[in-house]
Chain A
Amino acid sequence: MALKLADYKTDVHNDWCPGCGDFGIVNAIQMALAEMGVQRDKATIFSGIGCSGKTSHFINTYGVHTLHGRVLTFAQGAKIANPEMTVIAAGGDGDGLGIGAGHFVAAGRRNVDMTYIIFDNGVYGLTKGQASPTLKLGEKTKSLPSPNTNFNVNPIGLAVASGFTFVARGYSYDIKHLKDLIIQAVKHKGLSFLDVLQPCPTYNDINTRDWYAGTDLVDEAQKRHSRIYKLEEQGYDPVVHYDSVPEVNEKLSQSLIKSLEWDTKIPTGVFYKNELISPYTQRLQDKIPNYNENPPAKQNISQNGKPISDISAILDSLKV
């Protein structure tokens, strides 16, 4: 039975602030799942803590709302145990790039075949607007007593440097484009990262919807232009096509350079994509020949309440 968009929605009351960018992300995830026809009970949405952490409750698949900074650890554990599942992890920028930064880097090295979406708004919304890791040095959002004293993290650059094999950025008010990016991310063989710019209407009065739309910017022809643009419309090629050091280095470097663009021009779309790096499940399969067909979650461990694991060879080797 074909599933409709409505099938992926729960009837849980959504208590995000009116106008919150998070709505667009949840819609885009639901649209992507519907378009891909992912069976509801073959997908799990993991989420962290904060406003974005509630995401898993609004999507009618398996949903695991975890702890601050730790969403990737739960998600990777589940995916490794049951690699058949579609796994999407979601969390805020404070969650993933502050308290969870260590897991972010380690996850990149592992390259488990799943998707991580960061709701990137520069503030800790649910605790009333403190500065989060992506807020620029010296900026003072509404509820900060004084300007931000920390330099900002570059999420795209960090992802590329950590080994994520698909790195992209979307914008929460361009839902169709975001949905397309999510589909690409989910279909990617390896760990995909999606940095989603998501204005917080309540606490971030700098990076607002209007700011992204460029209402303050006029070009030489006195025309307004949006800050957001799409890499794919500029002939940017993010894909590592063959396995050579110069090719990989070129694609890595161009994505890093692109990731530094901000202020008046903000790129969205796919920055980097490399499917020549083996996903973690493949690395396990290389060690354990039947891992994919008989992963941990599928293994039979008992018969009539008795173990069927046969450890006699090891026990015999210990015999004296």
Chain B
Amino acid sequence: MSTADFTWLIGGPQGSGVESGANIFSKVCAEMGYQIFGKREFYSNIKGEHSYFTVRICDKKINSNVNDVTLMVSFDAETIFRHYDEVISGGGIIYDLDLEKSKTDDVSTLDGPFKERLHKELESQNKPFTIAGVLDIAKEKGVTLYPVSFKSILATLAEEKENPRLKGLVRMFNVIGVALSLGLVKMPPDSLKKTIGDIFAKKPEIAKINQETANYSYNYAAAKFESFNHLLTGTEKEPNIILVQGFQGTALGKMACGCRMQPYYPITPASDESVFLESNEIVEVSGDRPGSTAVIQCEDEICAMGMTIGAALTGTRSSTCTSGPGFALMAEMLGWAGINEVPIVITNYQRSGPSTGLPTRHGQDDLLFAIYAGHGDFPKIVYASGDIEESFYDTGNVFNYAEVFQVPVIHLMDKFLASSVITCKIFDPQKIVINRGKLLEKVEDGYRRFAFTDDGVSPRSRLGIDNGIFWNTGDESDEFGHISEDPISRVKMMDKRMSRLDLILKEIPRSQQVVSFGIEEHTIISWGSAKGPILDAIDMLKKEGISIGYVQLKLMHPFPADYVISLLKDAKTIIDIEANQSGQLGKLFKQNIGRDIDYFILKYSGRAMTSTEIYNSLKKIVENKSNKREVLMHGA
């Protein structure tokens, strides 16, 4: 069996159906047995700016995108201008014939700096500033061009089906693009028809028009296009595979582990999680009446956090979901939750900062902020997931940490994860354990919420249960929760709360703190979503006989220093890989371990890392040709 490793790119103005086109394409490929890794890039804009989706299709498990595009399909000029140079020699570009004469100046959304770079390139190659010009460069490189008039496809179809309405349905350009691509790669057509039927299951008429259009376009490509080198004819399908979007991992984890309240304030890229939870607010419960998640859209992130804490005080598992700017607003309340030992989970889908930064772009920017958020000393947990699949199980774990240690937990996710689509093994909720710690069902007389105990964790009552009265305050308090400014009691209370940090390191299983993928002379330390591209890059190097170690940190705070030191004792060269400017993990590493990072591979262009980039950088390091700090730049 030949191995397929294929990258398909679709682009278009925001609002033109790029995402749904990519969903159809991904689903068809997944149905035909392929593994998928897809990722969406988009502007902070509702309609008109450039958005694109790269879907990597492979017959083995993949964890990232690569730089090379095998086939690009485009129904607008901007996509061609921005991505023509990503298509490899031997690859193809399907494009709308009607665009050939378009000039760069015709595309109002091409920003100045980009246009300047493009003009320079076209000038150096003696090409006009048009689509024909860039396509010429692609052709000379060895890319096969597949011109087709999208409009005349609709016109012919309208005639054939005697449905004049079809002629003007430009919003079907996405489906035409998908079907042309699938026809070109000779994907069996049945799964396309089925997938469109599934996606538009609730609108049979729309499904029918889309299916007819797809069918026509598919046949058009199969009959009229020159044959393509890269085919996707299907492969052996593994059982129990799901096609899942990034935000669904934490959302499904929350539903499974019993999170029953999620107040939130809209922010990209976090809102999708809350909207998904609300869309599925009624939760089936085996052997019992249905439960529900109260998803409350608040007036701001401060309210979201206040409501989350208020709900947690009633014994409800509750959380909020936000991104950097929203998390910044929550910092004061985080301290309140800390001093009052309230178990809450804040899911932070990070994006590029500072301030509004690149609001729809990727960044692992909030690590140090999450660790230090809130004034004063109080215990908290900062935990980072590396991919969508683990985010489901990690969500179950972070709620346990919150309740067992009675601390706020910040669960770090990011935009790369949120807007990725992957195939993976179906989530198994039975692998989730629910541990509610010292939550009380019944309360004895003389209850003291903040009683001193041997392990520093007090039995926890909840608002509204018999006999369980307690007080909370943001002030320092006594064991009952009443304000106390007594110096001796203050020191005892501070030490009691802060002793939780050692307990956390002792009690959380090491396998949940840090994951080692092997230690070599050159070993990577990293956290979060860099995991996928790193794993794939290591794989690529292994094929060349180069072994690179990799340690993925998940428990970021408290920092598992002793364990990391013991893991890394045989690693001579430490390489820090993360998506921020300053190498935040590197700083944390130095602070906790006292060891210097030898090389940094960083990316802060707002675009996610590809395995190609990491492979190239690692190779340079191994060959001793690297700078201490490599900055990755791939991606439009």
Asked whether, in the complex, the Cβ of A81 is within 8 Å of the Cβ of B314, the reply is: yes
Chain A residues contacting B305 (CB-CB under 8 Å) are: 73
Chain B CB within 8 A of A242 CB: no
Among B30, B257, B296, the residue within 8 A (CB) of A320 is B30
| Interface residues in A68-93 (C-beta closer than 8 Å to B) | 70, 72-82, 84-85
Chain B 292-318 per-residue mask, 1 if CB under 8 angstroms from chain A, else 0: 111010111011011111110111111
Question: Which has the most chain B C-beta neighbours within 10 Å: A62, A75, A309, A313?
Answer: A309
In whole angstroms, what is the CA distance A314 to B462 when docked?
Answer: 32
Binds B, one of A196-204, A208-216, A300-308: A300-308
**A309 near B27: Cβ-Cβ < 8 Å:** no
Q: Is there contact, CB below 8 Å, between B311 and A310?
A: no
B372: interface (CB < 8 Å): no
With the chains together, A61 CA to B27 CA distance in Å?
56
User: With the chains together, A42 CA to B468 CA distance in Å?
Assistant: 10
By beta carbon, the residue of chain B nearest A70 is B306
- Knowing A41-B469, A74-B309, the reply to whether A311 touches B315 (Cβ < 8 A) is no
Q: A294-B289, A308-B288, A315-B252 are in contact. Are A64 and B472 (CB under 8 A)?
A: yes
Q: Which of A175-183, A186-194, A253-261, A284-292 contacts B (4 or more CB under 8 A)?
A: A284-292
Would you call A309 and B472 a contact (CB within 8 A)? no
B280 x A78 contact (CB < 8 A): no
Q: Which B residues are CB-close (under 8 A) to A308?
A: 285-288
Could you say which of A52-60, A230-238, A264-272 contacts chain B? A52-60
B residues less than 8 Å from A319 (CB atoms): 240-242, 426
* Least Cβ–Cβ distance between B299 and chain A, in angstroms: 4
Using CB atoms, name the residue of chain A closest to B426: A315
Q: Is A65 close to B, CB under 8 A? A: yes
Q: Report yes or no: A305 in contact with B258, Cβ–Cβ below 8 A.
A: no
Mark interface residues in A1-20 (1 if CB within 8 Å of B CB, else 0).
00000000010100000000
Q: Which of B258, B472, B482 contacts A301 (CB 8 A)?
A: B258
Please give me the residue from chain B that is nearest to A104 by CB atom: B299
For residue B306, which residues in chain A have a CB less than 8 angstroms away from its CB? Answer: 66-67, 70, 72-74, 76-77, 103
**Quick check: B286 and A310 within 8 Å, CB to CB?**
yes
Q: Which of A79, A81, A310 contacts B285 (CB 8 A)?
A: A310
Q: Are the CB atoms of A302 and B434 closer together than 8 Å?
A: yes
With contacts A85-B463, A290-B290, A314-B280 taken as known, whether A103 is within 8 angstroms of B258 at the C-beta atoms is no
Please, how many angstroms separate the alpha-carbon atoms of A313 and B311 in the complex?
Answer: 27
Per-residue CB contact flags for chain B residues 427-460 toward chain A (1 = under 8 Å, else 0) read: 1011011111000000000000000000000000
Q: Does A221 contact B (CB under 8 A)?
A: no
Residues of A within 8 A of B243 (CB): 318, 320
A64 touches B316 (CB 8 A): no
User: Does A137 lie at the interface of the complex (its beta carbon under 8 Å from any beta carbon of B)?
Assistant: no
Q: Report whether over half of chain A's contact residues are helix, strand or loop; otherwise say mixed.
A: mixed
Q: Which of A79, A295, A296, A312 contacts B318 (CB 8 A)?
A: A296
Give the distance to chain A from B482, nearest Cβ to Cβ, in Å. Answer: 5
Whether A318 contacts B248 in the complex (CB less than 8 A), given A54-B483, A302-B258, comes out as yes
A276 within 8 A of B: no
Q: In the complex the two chains form, is A65's CB within 8 Å of B471's CB?
A: yes
User: Which chain B residues (452-489) contact chain A, with CB distance < 8 Å?
Assistant: 462-475, 481-483
In the assembly, what is the distance between CA of A301 and CA of B298, in Å?
25
Residues of B within 8 A of A106 (CB): 298-299, 303
Question: Is the pair A311, B255 in contact by a Cβ cutoff of 8 Å?
Answer: yes
Separation of A302 and B285 alpha carbons in the complex (Å)? 10
A76 touches B307 (CB 8 A): yes
Q: How far is the CA of A54 from the CA of B471 in the complex (A)?
A: 11
Is A294's CB under 8 angstroms from B313's CB? no
**A313 CA to B483 CA, complexed, in Å:** 49
Which of A60, A294, A295, A314: most chain B CB closer than 10 A? A314
Return B401 CB to nearest CB of chain A, in Å.
Answer: 15
A320 touches B27 (CB 8 A): yes
A81 engages B318 (CB within 8 Å): yes
How many residues on the A side are at the interface (Cβ–Cβ under 8 A)? 64
Contact B283 A311 (CB under 8 A): yes
B297 → A minimal CB distance (Å)? 10
A297 touches B315 (CB 8 A): yes
Q: A22 CB to closest chain B CB, in angstroms?
A: 15
A296 CA to B371 CA in the complex, in Å? 30
- Given known contacts A64-B471, A320-B30, A314 and B433 CB-to-CB distance under 8 angstroms: no
Q: Check if A102 is an interface residue, CB within 8 A of chain B.
A: yes
Instruction: For residue B328, give the distance in angstroms from its CB to the closest CB of chain A.
Output: 16
Contact present for B467 and A291 (CB under 8 Å): no
> Beyond A78-B313, A82-B314, is A41–B465 a contact (Cβ under 8 Å)?
yes
Cross-chain contact A74 with B307 (CB below 8 angstroms)? yes
A81 partner, pick from B288, B311, B430, beta carbons under 8 A: B311
Q: Which residue of A lies closest to B191 (CB)?
A: A320
Given A80-B261, A318-B244, A307 contacting B429 (CB threshold 8 A):
yes
CB closest chain-A residue, reference B26: A320
Among A66, A79, A314, contact of B474 (Cβ-Cβ < 8 Å): A66
A227 within 8 A of B: no
CB nearest to B262 among chain A residues: A296
The answer for the CA separation of A303 and B294 in the assembled complex, in Å, is 21
The CA-CA distance from A131 to B473 in the complex, in Å, is 25
B434 and A78 contacting across the interface, CB-CB below 8 Å: no
Query: Do A81 and B471 have beta carbons less than 8 Å apart?
Result: no
**A80 x B462 contact (CB < 8 A):** no
A140 interface residue, CB < 8 Å from B?
no
Residues A307 and B256 in contact, CB atoms below 8 Å apart: yes
CB of A63 within 8 A of CB of B256, answer no
Q: In the complex, A314 Cα to B284 Cα: how many Å?
A: 10
- Measured between beta carbons, the chain B residues less than 8 angstroms from A30 are none
Find out whether the CB atom of B333 lies under 8 angstroms from the CB atom of A67: yes
Cross-chain contact B285 with A300 (CB below 8 angstroms): yes
Q: CB distance B260 to A320 under 8 Å?
A: no
Tell me, in angstroms, the Cα distance from A12 to B240 when the chains sit together: 60
CA distance A251 to B481 in the complex (A): 43
Q: Give the chain A neighbours of B280 by CB distance below 8 A.
A: 314
Q: List, sorted by A's number, 5 A–B pairs whose CB atoms are closer than 8 Å.
A: A64-B310, A65-B475, A66-B336, A80-B294, A84-B464
Additional A-B contact list (17), CB under 8 Å, known A62-B469, A80-B310, A85-B314: A12-B483, A56-B471, A67-B306, A70-B306, A70-B333, A73-B307, A81-B261, A290-B290, A294-B292, A297-B316, A307-B396, A308-B287, A309-B284, A315-B426, A315-B427, A318-B244, A320-B30
Q: Please list the residues of chain A having a beta carbon within 8 angstroms of any beta carbon in chain B.
A: 10, 12, 40-42, 44, 46, 49, 54, 56-57, 60-67, 70, 72-82, 84-85, 102-103, 105-106, 284, 287-288, 290-291, 294-297, 299-302, 305-315, 318-320
Q: Which 4 A-B pairs have the closest CB atoms?
A: A73-B306, A301-B258, A77-B310, A77-B307
